[in-house]
Structure 1
Amino acid sequence: MKNESDLENMLSEPSDATRRVLSQTPGDFMVLGAAGKMGPTLCRLVKNAAPDRKVFAVSRFSDPAVKDRLEQSGITVISADLAERQSYTDLPQIPNIYYLVGMKFGSTGNESFTWAMNAYVPALVCEHFRSSRIVALSTGNVHPFTPVTFGGATEEATPDPKGEYAQSCLGRERIFEYFSRKHSIPVVNMRLGYANEPRYGIIVDLTQKILKDEPIDLAMGNVNLIWQGDANDIIAQAISIAEVPARVLNLTGPETVSIRFLATAIGKFLNREVAFTGSEQPTALLFNAARCFEYFGYPRCPLMKMVHRVVDWVASGKTIHNKPTKFQVRDGKF
């Protein structure tokens, strides 16, 4: 990967399974919240998988360069503020919706806006797209902390969201569930756990700290990781399993990854000593994605290949998003 263009091409490459699923899915596609971290590459992946269909990208597009790149990829771009009811009058009815709208960073101190984006906007979407199928991106943060020896929380675990961000995300799921039942909208709430790519993610966070000789906090001593290209690919396929009432599906990698192990591996790659602070706790925010793998197979990118890709990118000084994941937070205050 020489540059961001190469990277985004990689993140936008669909698997053969996704090409097959989307070719068998009737109608065009729309990505709501298309200008965020995952939106542009998901749009392009869907377009690559179904080149004969229209793909619509909807967002405010505060960065015109994102809009331009999507249009150059053959995607129809619509600028709209999805928090405003009047924006929906100009949105076409599209049968397949990927919902990526959400608020996390800066949620502490801005709680009302967080709740509006995460729990009010889904109601507007469901009222407008009541004849569509919807894949709604959620977060594993709605899960309880579990002992690190338990293999992570399954979809059947009773939610226990920490802090208002996670609570609002559970609110988002409940709104989609409510309207799924009310209007018979097929929905799947995808609880994503820590997607990584060279510009963002836990591996970026750790690499930056090691390069700056800063200690690694072990408060959240174990995590799950998935390559963003694989997350995109599975999200695209998930339109095929949306159902009434809304279902929930965990989406992350198969390993329970020790932060101590991960940081040490990054340090070896960089030829740097790694310092740690704090100690591992007996519980962590972990998710079990076995059901997801049953539907869609295991991720294509294994853990250490993901680590090498990210560390090489960051160490070479290439562009990153400068949005720390704050994965070590245990009180839910983001």
Structure 2
Amino acid sequence: MTLHRPEDDSALDELLSAPTPGVTEALSAIDGDIVLLGGGGKVGPTLARMARRALDEAGSESRVISVSRWSDEAAAASLREHGIEIVSADLSDPDSWAGLPDAGAVMYLLGHKFGATGNPAKTWWLNAVVPGFCASRYRGVPSVAYSTGNVYPLRPVSRGGATEQDPIGPVGMYAQSCAAREQAFAEAADRWGTPTAIYRLNYACELRYGVIADIARTIAEGAPVDVTMPAVNVVWQRDSNAWSLQALAHASNPAFVLNGTGPETLSTRYIAEALAEHAGWDLEITGDEANTALLNNAARAHEMFGYPSIPPATIIRWVAEWVSSGARTLGKPTKFQQRDGGF
């Protein structure tokens, strides 16, 4: 059966926020409100809507509260229209935490990636210090902390992705500070008995951003695609949203670690060639494929929650059509090509 691409932003957000039965079951067990911290970014809006829809399906009166600075008032207004409560706060300010609402569950999405290398103080403050504010304010509250597959080192492509049992080896300041964020939450789990899950994601994709959208825009602009980073893992964002929410049911002490991505190892060259073929674009390739890549093995997530609902071939086709039509993109590149950890 051929899946049909969402026609506009509204239809896309509706698809990305559709809860799975597993999400509805997991959130129905939450005693209290669900608080999303750093909810104004790429993932937060559809994650909040999925949580709200799942709670509605479960007949729960728990609130979904999304906390951010909300520099984009239109995004905040849209969430209000879908039943999400909005709290404006600068989470980098330690004085802001005491006034935040109580929670029955916490989704921690806050992080700093782009510009990390050029602003080390801000990077370490946001990625390593601020998580401690969260862990202290919400001690004892089941929490999922978003992390990244960047905490793993580059691996030989022939070996596939790193599992949760493999040692981390963060390269560069961004990855190192994310590893520190994980340790802050792990210490909170131990110190205060906070049920905790750490969700290592790379890379969530939809039609407006992600690795596939990055490559599509590069080709559409007539620029060459660099294949030095030879391969990637991707996952449809709706599936990633669902997995991270379901991880609340597995939060534990010691912290439960879960990789999040699709099962395929996709070559960068294949993605570029498939996009160009679908859209009728001319393609120029540059660089020589290295033997190593940043790869993540999410077999545990697939065993627990099932395989992704949208396969990469469909995402590639949809992205080619979306970008060709001139539809909106978020303008937030993943910079997946970086091999030295410099963002």
TM range (shorter): over 0.9
Query: d(CA) in 2 for partners of 1:225 and 1:265?
Result: 15
Q: Secondary structure at the match of 2:283?
A: coil
Q: Which amino acid aligns with 2:276?
A: G
Unaligned runs of 5+ in 1: none
Q: Which moved more, 1:163-172 or 1:149-158?
A: 149-158
Following TM superposition, by how much is the alpha carbon of 1:207 offset from its aligned partner in structure 2, in angstroms? 0.7
Matched, 1:148 2:157: yes
Following TM superposition, by how much is the alpha carbon of 1:271 offset from its aligned partner in structure 2, in angstroms? 1.4
Contact persistence 2:30–2:104 (CA under 8 A)? no
For 1:246-271, what per-residue CA distance to the aligned partner results, in whole angstroms no more than 9, with x for missing partners? 12111001000011111111111011
Match of residue 62 from structure 1: 71
Match of residue 179 from structure 1: 188
Match of residue 43 from structure 1: 48
Unaligned runs of 5+ in 2: 1-5
Q: Which amino acid aligns with 2:328?
A: T
For 1:124-156, what per-residue CA distance to the aligned partner results, in whole angstroms no more than 9, with x for missing partners? 001100020000000000001111111211111
Query: d(CA) in 2 for partners of 1:247 and 1:237?
Result: 12
Match of residue 108 from structure 2: 99
User: 1:99-118 maps to which residues of 2 (within 5 A)?
Assistant: 99-118=108-127
Q: Secondary structure at the match of 1:317?
A: coil
Q: Which amino acid aligns with 2:22?
A: A
Following TM superposition, by how much is the alpha carbon of 1:27 offset from its aligned partner in structure 2, in angstroms? 2.3
Matched, 1:25 2:34: no
Give the number of equivalent residue pairs.
334
Q: Secondary structure at the match of 1:90?
A: coil
Match of residue 327 from structure 2: 318
Match of residue 34 from structure 1: 39
2:211 aligns with one of 196, 202, 206: 202
Q: Which amino acid aligns with 2:267?
A: S
Q: Which amino acid aligns with 1:32?
A: L
Contact persistence 1:56–1:75 (CA under 8 A)? yes
Matched, 1:192 2:183: no
TM-score calculated relative to the size of structure 1: 0.98
Percent of residue pairs identical = 44
For 1:198-220, what per-residue CA distance to the aligned partner results, in whole angstroms no more than 9, with x for missing partners? 11111111111111221110111
Calculate the aligned-residue CA RMSD, in Å. 1.0
Q: Which amino acid aligns with 2:325?
A: S
Following TM superposition, by how much is the alpha carbon of 1:195 offset from its aligned partner in structure 2, in angstroms? 0.5
Contact persistence 1:95–1:131 (CA under 8 A)? no
Matched, 1:246 2:241: no
Following TM superposition, by how much is the alpha carbon of 1:311 offset from its aligned partner in structure 2, in angstroms? 1.8
Match of residue 297 from structure 1: 306
Matched, 1:3 2:8: yes
TM-score calculated relative to the size of structure 2: 0.95
Query: d(CA) in 2 for partners of 1:180 and 1:38?
Result: 24
Q: Secondary structure at the match of 1:174?
A: helix
Following TM superposition, by how much is the alpha carbon of 1:101 offset from its aligned partner in structure 2, in angstroms? 0.3
